[in-house]
A and B are shown apart, each in its own frame.
Chain A
Amino acid sequence: MALILTPNITDPDGFYDELLAAHEGLDKDQSDALTARLVLVLANHIGDRDLLRLALEAAK
């Protein structure tokens, strides 16, 4: 299976809004920690090591 790099999120503006709302009121360290936890949660959902490696490359 290939890494999806075309638009795949329903209501992207709504998602973006929720993502930022989750960070509201946090200081930098808390915010970074939230991002790190979120990456791990999403990585676990994906599971596939090859896909995760592709995602790492895409983000670099």
Chain B
Amino acid sequence: MVAVRYKTAFTLYPYKKVPEQTGTPVRHPVVIVGGGPVGLTLALDLGKKGTPALVLDDHEGAGLGSKAICFAKRTLDIAHRLGAAQPMIDKGVIWNVGRVFHGDDRLFSFDLQPEAGHRNPAFINLQQPYFERFLMDEIRRVQSQGAPIETRGRNRVIGLKTHADFVTLDIDTPDGPYQIEADYLVACDGARSAMRDMMGLSFDGRMFEDNFLIADVRMTADFPTERWFWFEPPFKDSGQSALLHKQPDDIWRIDFQLGWDIDRDQELQEDRIRARVDAMLSSQTGEVPDYELVWTSIYTFQCRRMKEFRHGRVFFAGDSAHQVSPFGARGANSGVQDAENLAWKLDHVIKGLAGEPLLDSYSQERGHGADENILNSSRATDFMTPKTQASRLFRDAVLNLAGRHPFARPMVNSGRLSVPCTYQGLPLISADALDGPAATRPGAACVDAPVGNGFLLDLLGHDFVLLVLGGSTPPDMPELRLVHIPDPTPELAVRYLGGNSGAIYLIRPDQHIAGRWPGIDARTIRVALDRALGKD
């Protein structure tokens, strides 16, 4: 039997018995454990490239509760490449303005509105179950066109055995257990990863002694679509900080930082939560609006990561590999980037276009991303919950000055919102040979820009691409797809040329920049391409 661990918001992959549940174990090229945002992104990316992916999940769909709500531009760019972004944008709440309060004082506001000329906004708020559903809708669509993606709900992995070049999995189902084999296994099964436990791997880091109460409330209130964050909120029993943020369907995310010594069961009682929410909402409007409590939860958090994200034929992606505090929207967003980083590498190796070293680069690159996220997340947490007298003194000094003097505002930290990391200096990335803009240096994710009636990222697609801009001459390389833009738009020129009259960019399938040059011959590009494929 497969026990139900949580309620689901949507059924996405209902259990259906398959013939291979009887007979000898069938070998699959890629098996993904966990059908959440990370597992579904990976399956969709692989399937669209024609590499078979089998997703196993012990439930039949997205877990109940809003969970991750902030999806960053980079995630939307990835979802757009995969064909799933439009419904996310249509459903999501687009927001740009954040406001910071200290007690009763309104300190300052910030605007995340990116420069013009990008297809996607800086952020949307969208409940995680919708994100998963829209990915699944696209999976269903491409399946109907023959993409080799399979999803099996209520298939719980209960045993895992690793071999030199494959993995055996024992799976439990409502019709009893069966066995399969996987050339590659990717564990996208969350922070409490059962795969990690089965392999006896450690997950080390730092625990923060704090409890946060989430209350999602449904109300038709007249608050603006902004992120409001309070240090030392003035309303009763609200703890050390509080957050108010809008989601689709008239739902508002409210967070209260309750501290460490609390009675969890008591704090989760409805009248207790309502007293807090009443105090917060009435402090803004003078009266308590009608609202419905949709979802409540108390969480603690930790910043930790696995030492290696690859263990032979087994990979870890998303929260199973690294965990951060929610401040900064670095959980689901970084997991989706893990999936994209791994997808093209597995695809290349399975198709025989690259060797095993390419797969090691997954752990290097995404481990670097995880470190950056953990650093930012730890700093935000330290600012929000000063642990020593000195850190409280400086924190309060910064808040005191920030209302009056702009210089202190960049030091106010209520979460540094997720931006993609750069792989510069890591083995697959060539040295920068162009005196160009920093935002598009080798290792960075391509920055969008208008091109004709569309956008640059649309032209890049899913493969290695040579982007030739301005006066540079395209090298003769029939094996590489060429995007030649002799007359770049002003935005494209500012973002990719800087002061140069022309430039050549080698861009990876995950739309990260592998190298850039003012002009270059085919031989040098082949060297950079080999390096980008781990053949160096």
Residues of A within 8 A of B (CB): 4-9, 12-13, 15-17, 19-20, 23-24, 26, 28, 31, 58-59
Contact = CB atoms under 8 A, between A and B. Distances in A.
Contacts of A7: 406-407, 409-410
12 contacts: A6-B407, A8-B407, A9-B411, A12-B411, A13-B413, A15-B411, A20-B391, A28-B389, A31-B390, A31-B393, A58-B401, A58-B405
Contacts of A13: 376, 379, 411, 413, 416
Contacts of A17: 379
Given A5-B405, A17-B379, A20-B382, A12 B410 contact: yes
Contacts of B389: 28, 31
Nearest to A6: B406
A4 B390 contact: no
Interface string B250-280: 0000000000000000000000000000000
Given A6-B406, A12-B411, A31-B390, 12 more contacts: A4-B407, A5-B405, A7-B407, A13-B376, A16-B411, A17-B379, A19-B394, A23-B388, A26-B390, A28-B390, A58-B404, A58-B405
B184 interface: no
A9 B409 CA distance: 11
Interface of B: 376, 379, 382-383, 388-391, 393-394, 398, 401, 404-407, 409-411, 413, 416
Chain B at the A interface: SS class: helix
B401 A16 contact: no
A23 B376 contact: no
A24 B405 CA distance: 27
Contact of B388 (A4, A5, A6, A24): A24
A59 B379 CA distance: 24
Contacts of A15: 411
Given A5-B406, A7-B406, A31-B389, A59 B401 contact: yes
A16 B394 contact: yes
Nearest to A13: B379
B390 to A, nearest CB: 4
B410 A20 contact: no
A11 to B, nearest CB: 9
Most B C-beta atoms less than 10 A away, residue of A6, A9, A16, A24: A16
